[in-house]
Structure formats: structure tokens, C-alpha cells
Structure 1
Amino acid sequence: MCGIAGLFHCGTIKPVDPVRIERMATVLAHRGPDGSGVWTAQGVGLGHRRLSIIDVEGSPQPMHSMSERLVISFNGEIYNFRDVRKELKARGASFGTAGDTEVILAAYEQWGADCVSHLHGMFAFAIYDQKRRELFLARDRFGVKPLFYTQLSDGSVAFASELKGLLAHPLMRREVDPSALEDFMAWGYVPDHRSILKGVHKLPAGHSLTLRHDSPVPEPQQYWDISFDKRHKGKAKDLEAELLHHLQQAVTSRMVSDVPLGAFLSGGVDSSSVVAFMAEASRQPVKTCSIGFDVASADETSYARQVADLFATDHEARTVSADQFDAIDMIAGMFDEPFADASALPTWRVCQLARESVTVALSGDGADEAMAGYRRQVFHAHEERLRGLMPEVLRKNILGPLGRAYPRADWAPRPLRARTTLLSLAGSAEEGYARALSVVPPEERFALYSPDLAGRLGSYRAEQPLYDLMASAPMRSGLDQAQYADLKFWLPGDILTKVDRTSMATSLEAREPLLDHRLVEFAAGLPEGLRIKGRQGKWLLKKAMERYLPEDILYRPKQGFVTPIAEWFRGPLAGKARGISKSAMLAHTGWFDNVRLAEIAEEHIAGRADHSRLLWQLVMLDRSLARLGIG
């Protein structure tokens, strides 16, 4: 795993200062503490920071192809590189190293931009073609690895693995995009279609971008998408066997490493399944680690220990408590952009724990999105059926007003929150799912905004890009639509961003075997009845894993990596909640109604409402602005 950075001149071709490239790469040293390199030519420069995983002694970067025509800076892992290498050798290619970086160069030389379709893995890379004088940028299918880019005032395009790499360039502007602020307040993160800073872009997952010195910056080109518009045929038992084959293949392919390897273990279905296949394939005890909480209702370490004992793993566990809240500035620094998924704190802690004994850790991320494991997906499927039974006039004119009049019930389980259900059913499928996915719905967000910010936003609402995405989804059902939205919108923006930044902050490589694209493509074709039964999600996965895992691991209610911030903000962190409305940083921006922010804090502390996620958002926004030097 690594960090990459670079500059490419469009329009005019000027020399690139290698010191500037080095500075952009140096701020990414946490992503690659084992080595560094800079290469420059007229109009282009590539920088690299290396975390050595495969071919530890070889494969320094930036790397030249054997022909000297191509130069690459690469972040990620190509899991099928040995197979691709064998195919390329049969076509006449020769290699001087034993790693996967040189395989990408040879693949590009053989297939050009289509090389990405031959690569299985997680990656973000830049290849400069000295003959064609082009820079090719690419990002993996799901967006496991990040890539930011921007056009600077001198016409050059700067790119880097993290926003801080761009911020190291003196021409980088630090102006907040109001639309990105609205996005963050809606979702708790800035989605991949935007960045918190104006003019900064994220290369979308499954896309590539080719830059030429004599042309303006084009739009990225999509090379892969997930489709739910076909269904597998066959008996459930046969599909179960095929699913197990894909799972085993995905896990074992990600166990290739020249450095110590382990796994995160939460005690849930997904990470337990990964550990089961690792234990099956390993001659040594699998190294596993887990994080618990000082609030019993959020702690799952007993289940993790149960699975660890079942597979005789070498297991370590630690506890996260509210007194570790002081780490928030470090969390803000990891993400650069405001990021309010509170599970980032325990994720970082489990990465720290893992890094004490391994350099690579496998996770269970991706199964909920790919195999319908989220409650919101199951609810959406049922709600969509109900929408089909009720006329639109009835839903809008009766259910809508009822939902707006119904009191909030944050304390209740979701099925009993009539307000949420009524408002969801009153709208379209897209509107309903946006409400399930968002942290703060639009009517509540705009009650927080100052007149100035509301005026700058105009008619823009954060939900619109999600509506557009869901409306164009290749699907057959409401469940398909929800899963597509999660894979394309939620997964890269929240889950994968969280895991990438927290793992890389500790110089740990995290791998997601359940996001093997062949496994996900297979899961997308499963009949809906094999994905959910009643209110049970991930049904076929759980049936398939019955031979490996006990019933109380497979079928207990889903908990997830939930940080107990509601309790913390009513207890040891109540002072932090009250301080939000008085924050000099937020007050200076003039974006919010500070009186309303104070009311929200008091409502939460008194237990009249659960505003914990919103409070965490505001705290993270405040600290992120401070780190960015804005406000």
C-alpha cells in the first residue's frame, strides 16, 4: 500500500520542480514509510511513498517499464498479478521484478487503457506514456483506493492519494464549496462526486482519466459498473455452493503477502466468515484483533472471542472509551475533509492494534452492500411493494401530512418510528431511501442554516445526485435499487474512505475480500428471495456459512461497528456538546444559526431527542475546518 502524487501540465509544457513533487509526497509518508521516489520530465512529475508488501526488496517507484516508455506511480494491490504476468509473458513481455507494479506497466503496454479490465484488486495509479505524452489515471472498481485531482491556476493538474497531498502545493486554493457542505450535513461525509474544496475532484470508482499536454482536462471515462438487471437460474443449493466458491477464492487471493498478515474480527457474520476461510487456508493460527466499548450495549467483543476460540486464532482485544475523545483532532487530520462516521475512532484503534503484529489485515467490509445486509435495504424493499399498492395521491396528500405532524421517536426501533415510515412512503422510492440513508433530512438541515448559506445553496439539495443515481440504476426491484445506491454512493464515500484513511494512518494495508468484483457480480444476480427472507438480510450467505459458524453468530440481530456517542454526549462529553454553538471556528463561518445549535445540544443532553450523530457532525466539521485553516 502506498501514497502517490504528481503534476501534469495541460496547455503549456513547463519544467516540473522535483522539490514540489517531493513535498506533495512527503505529507503522505504515513501511507508509505518504507521508501520514496520522485521522477520528473518536461511537463510531468510523479511522486511515491511505499509500504512494502510484495517483492519487499524490489519494485521501487516511480517505476519504468522494460522499454523505458512508461513510468508509473501505483497505490494498491493486484491480486491476480501472477496470472496476468503469465499471460503477458506468453505474449512476449519480459520482467525484471517479482511484484505487481511492473505487471501493470506491461498490461498497459499490451492493452492500453483497457488494462484495468484485466486487473483484479484495489488500486489508484498514474502512468505516463513518454511516447504519446499522455498521463493515464485509474481507480479500482469500487473505489477502495482514493485519488484526488485539481487544475491549478497555472494550468497544471495536481493529483494525490489524499487531499493533504494537493494542499502541499502552494497554488492550491482553500475555499469551501457550499454544495459540499450541504452534502456533508446530509450524509455525514462528502460523497465522491464532490470535495469540500472548490475545484477539487475525486476520480470516481471504476473510472479512468487520460490527460494530454495539448488538450483541456476531459471528463473521466467509466470502465466498469455493477448491474442488477439479470437473475441467476438454478437450485438454491447450487447457488449456495457457487457462493462458497467465490468466497473462498476471494479470501485466499487476498492472503498473498511477503509480510505478516491478519484480520479484523468484530464477531459479526462478515468478518467471522473471512476468518473462517483464512483459518481453512492457513497452516498457522490466524492473527485477529477486535475493539470493544466501555458501554455494554455497544460491545461485541464476547462474540469476537467466541469466533476466535472456534478457529483457534491468535486474538487480541482492546476497549475504546469516551476519554479517548481527545483523539478527534488526529481523526480530523486523517480525513482532511469533514467526516462524521463515528466508527472511524474504533476503526483507527483496531488498525493500531493490528499494526502491532501485522502489516496487512483482511476485513469484512462490503458484504452488507453486496448481499443485502442493511436493515434499510430490507425496509426499502418492503416499502417499495407498499408504494405499488397505494395511489400516489393518497401517499402524498395523506401520508405526507401525517408524517410531518407525527412526533419524532428517535428512541424507538425503526419499525416503530411512524414519522420516518410515513414520510418515506409519501415520497418516491428515491426520496424514501435518501431519508433512510441521510443523517439529517432536508427540512431539519435548512433549519440550521443561516440565511446567507441557504441563499448560496439556492435550490440545490444533497439528495438530488442520489435520486439521479437510483433512477438510472440497472435493476429489477426496489432491493436492487437500494443495493446499487449503497455500492455506488455510500460504500466509496463512507465505508471505504473510513477504512483507507484509518488504516493508512497506521501504515497498515487493509484488504476487503468481500468486495472481489466477481463475488459482487455473482451476488447481484441472486434472486431477491435468496438475498432476503422476511426481515432477514444476507440470507444465502448465512445459509452457506452454517457449516462454519454457530447460529448465534449468524442470526443474532445486526449491530455493526456502533460507537456509543449518544451516551457519551449525555455524560462525559456533554460539555463538548454545549460548546458547539460557541465554537469560534463555526461561528466565524456564519453558516449556522447558533441559537438552534445550542437548543439541539440541550435537547440531546436532557434526553428529549437523539441528536448524537448531528452533534458529532458539527464537532468534526469544526475540527476539520481548523485543520484546513478555514474559518
Structure 2
Amino acid sequence: MDYPMGNASTFSEYMAYRKVSDLGLRVVVGGLGPDEFLMGYVRHALVLFGPDAVLKAGLEAYRPLAAKLLHTAGQDIDPAEAVTRLVLRGPDPEGRIHALVTEAMNRAGGDLARGLSLSDLATAWRPLVMTSDKLASAYALERRSPYLARELVELSYRLPVKHKITDPAEGKRILRDAAKALGLPREVWGSRDKVGFASPVPAWLNGPLASWADAQIRTALAEAPPALRPLLEGGLKPGGRYDRTRMQALLAAAWFSNQPVRTAA
């Protein structure tokens, strides 16, 4: 990866490519794009419709994520703050993510849906594409992403929000309509039980591997530079399903521990 990546799903994706390679295949087709461009993530629905509407739509599995936006009645959350809370999976001590999201929202000129798309482009989109390409390249796989064709991406950005999402549990509206028109079964275009490409690693780090993870982080803390200490210390606290601080701390500890020791000449 060339640098620490505190997202456990990279392990799942890496092993998927390994299996594909073991089968003797050399070209894979990926689905990157629609979730980002066509309001396919639950976080989009949470900002557009609110946490209560999302939970009522049957997405109960996302209650921990929705809880980031649940607040005292009458206290509205600024859109940029709401998006930042949903995007963050760990600490943001210098407010870099919030600044990027705020700039994206300002560029959208009051168009909330466009602001969400621009926020994704400014924060998660580039690392996501680079990660998938590097993981596939590790097994000499050619990874093709048909949804990233330039014309399709540009069309997606121009589409009114009604063609992207009209129901909290059914993003990517235009793709659902196309699938329905092509005669695909309802369980394809009518699915309302979206689940991300989750990894069991975070649960392991807070469960059977907790003592091991703590030991790794504490060992790194003993010699870590001041700038790295807040992240490592945060990783000693158990996190929830949508908190990657512990994972980030562990990866940072491994990265730091494997760096060559440099001494002055």
C-alpha cells in the first residue's frame, strides 16, 4: 500500500484478489463508482433524509452510524458537520477532513446532494481507487472499472438528485430503474438491505485479539514521536463498528516499528 491504511476491508479485498489469482484469472471487473456518484451510501441518506427516516426505512444495521447524527430535538446539525461525522472513522485532530468537507459544501452553492458528491470526491474517492488498484496489482490482476468511464461519471454528476435517490433505503435510483427495465428479478433492483464490504478484523481487535493489539500499540508508544502518540493512545480504547481508531493505531504501530533506524553521521 506504500503507507498505513487503517481500513480493515483492505484485507478482505486483498484476499479476494488472491483467490481470483489462484483460480488462474487475470482480469477482474469492479463496481467502483455508483455508490459515490449516485447516492448509494447510507451516509448520503442520513444527511438527505435524517437518521430517523433511515432507521424507519429498515436500515437498522446502521443504527451505530445514525447515532452520530442523533441529537436533542431542535438542535440542527450543520451539513458540513454532519458529513464530517459520518465520514470520519477515527480522530481528526487538525480538522483537515472538516475543512475539506466545508470547502466542498461551499462549492456546491447550497445544493446538498451535489455537496455530498463533492465531499466524497475530496475525501474518500481518490484513496479508494488507489487502494483497489494497488491490491489488484499485488497479484498482477488487471482491474477494470466500467462505471468510471468518463462520460458516465460526468453524466452522473449532472443528474438531478431524483434520479439518484428518492427513498432512504434505495440509492442509485437510475441503476435500479435500468435493472427493472431489463427484466432482472426484484431481489436485484428492489433490494433494501445494503451492507458494506465489512471485515471481521475490528471485532477481533476488540475481542479475542484485544490483548495482542494493546501490546503492539504499547510497544510502539514507548519510542513513538510526539506527533504519533495521540493516535496510538486513542487506539488503546475499544471502538465501535464505525470507529477505525484502533485499527489505525495498530497499523501505525506496525508501520513505525518496521521503519529503519536512522542515526546521525
Which interval holds the TM-score relative to the shorter structure?
0.7 to 0.9
- Alignment pair present for 1:437 and 2:72: no
Residue 576 of structure 1 deviates from its aligned partner by 2.6
Residues 186-211 of structure 1 deviation map (CA, whole Å, 9 limit, x = unaligned): xxxxxxxxxxxxxxxxxxxxxxxxxx
Q: 1:539 and 1:414 mapped to 2: Cα distance?
A: 25
Which of 12, 17, 28 lines up with 1:346 in the alignment?
12
Which of 70, 73, 82 lines up with 1:421 in the alignment?
70
Could you tell me which residue of structure 1 aligns to residue 40 of structure 2? 373
Aligned 8 A contact 2:28 2:143 in 1: yes
Identical positions, percent? 21
Could you tell me which residue of structure 2 aligns to residue 113 of structure 1? none
Q: 2:7 and 2:249 mapped to 1: Cα distance?
A: 12
Could you tell me which residue of structure 2 aligns to residue 337 of structure 1? 3
- The letter for the 1-side match of 2:249 is L
- The letter for the 2-side match of 1:467 is T
Aligned 8 A contact 2:30 2:146 in 1: yes
| Change over 3 Å in CA distance of 1:629–1:550 after alignment to 2 | farther
| Change over 3 Å in CA distance of 1:428–1:531 after alignment to 2 | same
Aligned 8 A contact 1:364 1:513 in 2: yes
Which of 142, 152, 164 lines up with 1:519 in the alignment?
152
Q: Which structure carries more strand by proportion?
A: 1
Residues 150-208 of structure 1 deviation map (CA, whole Å, 9 limit, x = unaligned): xxxxxxxxxxxxxxxxxxxxxxxxxxxxxxxxxxxxxxxxxxxxxxxxxxxxxxxxxxx
- Alignment pair present for 1:505 and 2:154: no
- Alignment pair present for 1:496 and 2:118: no
Aligned 8 A contact 2:35 2:172 in 1: yes
Which of 242, 245, 258 lines up with 1:614 in the alignment?
245
Aligned pairs for 1:482-631 within 5 A: 482-493=116-127, 495-535=128-168, 536-546=170-180, 547-554=182-189, 555-584=191-220, 587-590=223-226, 591-592=228-229, 597=234, 600-601=237-238, 613-629=244-260
Q: 1:505 and 1:527 mapped to 2: Cα distance?
A: 38
Q: What stretches of structure 1 of length at least 5 have no aligned partner?
A: 1-334, 384-410, 446-459
Q: 2:241 and 2:29 mapped to 1: Cα distance?
A: 34
- The letter for the 2-side match of 1:526 is L
- The letter for the 2-side match of 1:574 is A
Aligned 8 A contact 1:364 1:514 in 2: yes
- Runs of 4+ in structure 1 off by over 3 angstroms are 593-599, 609-612, 626-631
Q: 1:380 and 1:336 mapped to 2: Cα distance?
A: 33
Q: 1:512 and 1:594 mapped to 2: Cα distance?
A: 34
Q: 1:515 and 1:627 mapped to 2: Cα distance?
A: 36
Aligned 8 A contact 1:360 1:511 in 2: yes
RMSD: 2.9
- The letter for the 1-side match of 2:71 is L
Aligned 8 A contact 1:435 1:441 in 2: no
Aligned 8 A contact 2:65 2:242 in 1: no
Residue 441 of structure 1 deviates from its aligned partner by 5.1
* Aligned residue pairs, count: 244
Aligned pairs for 1:66-145 within 5 A: none
Could you tell me which residue of structure 1 aligns to residue 103 of structure 2? 468
Aligned 8 A contact 1:434 1:466 in 2: yes
| Change over 3 Å in CA distance of 1:360–1:413 after alignment to 2 | same
User: What TM-score, normalized to structure 1?
Assistant: 0.36
Aligned 8 A contact 2:235 2:245 in 1: no
Q: 1:422 and 1:338 mapped to 2: Cα distance?
A: 33
Q: Which structure carries more helix by proportion?
A: 2
Q: 1:503 and 1:358 mapped to 2: Cα distance?
A: 12
| Change over 3 Å in CA distance of 1:572–1:520 after alignment to 2 | same
Residue 599 of structure 1 deviates from its aligned partner by 5.3
2:229 alignment partner, SS class: coil
Q: What stretches of structure 2 of length at least 5 have no aligned partner?
A: 51-60
